[in-house]
Amino acid sequence: MAAIRVGLAGYGLGGRAFHAPLIRATPGLDLVAIATMKPVPDARTIADPMALAADSDIDLLVISTPNETHFPLARAALEAGKHVVIDKPFAVTTDEADGLVALAKARGRMLTVFQNRRWDGDFLTVRELVESGRLGDIMLCEMSWDRFRLDLRDSWKDAGGEGTGLLFDLGSHLIDQAMLLFGPPEAIAADLAVQRPQAIADDYFSLTLHYGARRVVLGCSTLVAAPRPRFALHGARGSFVKHGLDPQEAAMNGGATPDGPGFGVEEARWHGTFTAPDGSVETIETLVGRYLAFYAGVVEAIAGRAPPPVDPADSREGLRLIELARRSAAEGRTLAC
């Protein structure tokens, strides 16, 4: 199969540090154009991302633009007969997500969502532990993603527009990971807050997902200088606790190539621990992170050899939980899912 010609809409952190290096390192993909106002070495640039969506030289459009633009850009690209990768969140409403899924099906095009945190090394490790049954019946799972950022960024993410705030940003990842581990919850209780001076968009959230007696608690804050464990799972046979963040983002942001030696390998000091009921503790080596698996899956899906690496229906379900969480927080009550 000839190389798939890729257009990348957006060259902020997502486009520059994630999509561009991953696309360039994936056999079968050729990054031919980028929609950005910034100069980019070794790439054709175009100012208007909507023009890129209509560009006849593009087979696949990758969308890494502000959240509220995901739907119109993806719709335009699908109508132009292109395959589409959309950064999370998939869209800003479930109605938009449903429209894109239907359009992709009608046009026979591949549509997928860049839920890259499925391929974090720490999450791969957690998923393997859960599926192996080593933790036993898990009654409490806590997943947190904390930062300390007192000042607001000069970015659309802090501007308070549609689809902004931590729940859409990092919540999209945490909800996706929770559903991969445990499936859709029975009920949800949410607390959202705007805690920093001058902030507009939510910069704190806590979600409790109900699975019978099991509780899955997802938390995120921008005012935590000593981060909570990224993962803490407690089961009948022991507990697994893990601090730190997957190293792939920092490596690519620092210029590392994702197909280079040692990419995705976590330093031993960040490995998690398994504590047995008798108090004995064992270090669990973190699996190697594999962001390249996403775009390898894109190539296979476009070739018709495999389903998309992320089913857009999964991300649509994540949006539904975000909508329920916002309603739960506004009404101050637990809502059935």
Residue 219 has pLDDT above 90, yes or no: yes
Residue 209 has pLDDT above 90, yes or no: yes
Q: Average pLDDT for residues 118-124, to the nearest whole number? A: 98
Sign of CA dihedral 285, 286, 290, 294: positive
Q: How confident is the model at residue 137 (pLDDT cuts 50, 70, 90)?
A: very high
Residue 152 has pLDDT above 90, yes or no: no
Q: Average pLDDT for residues 176-186, to the nearest whole number? A: 98
Mean pLDDT computed over every residue of the chain: 95
Q: Are 325 and 170 in contact (CB under 8 A)?
A: no
**Model pLDDT, residue 1:** 72
40-90 confidence digits (pLDDT tens): 888 899 999 999 999 999 999 999 999 999 999 999 999 999 999 999 999
Whole-prediction pTM: 0.95
260-309 confidence digits (pLDDT tens): 999 999 999 999 999 999 999 999 999 999 999 999 999 999 999 999 99
Residue 159 has pLDDT above 90, yes or no: no
Tell me which residue of 57, 95, 49 sits closest to 73, measured CA to CA: 49
Q: Average pLDDT for residues 142-164, to the nearest whole number? A: 83
**Model pLDDT, residue 173:** 97
Q: Average pLDDT for residues 158-168, to the nearest whole number? A: 83
Q: Average pLDDT for residues 310-315, to the nearest whole number? A: 97
Could you list the beta-strand ranges (E) of the chain: 4-9, 29-35, 44-46, 60-63, 83-87, 111-114, 138-146, 187-193, 204-211, 214-221, 231-235, 238-242, 272-275, 281-284, 335-336
222-253 confidence digits (pLDDT tens): 999 999 999 999 999 999 999 999 999 999 99
**Model pLDDT, residue 163:** 85
Residue 158 has pLDDT above 80, yes or no: no
Q: Are 7 and 23 in contact (CB under 8 A)?
A: no
Residue 153 has pLDDT above 80, yes or no: no
User: 3-class SS at 188?
Assistant: strand
Q: Are 139 and 213 in contact (CB under 8 A)?
A: yes
Q: Average pLDDT for residues 215-224, to the nearest whole number? A: 97
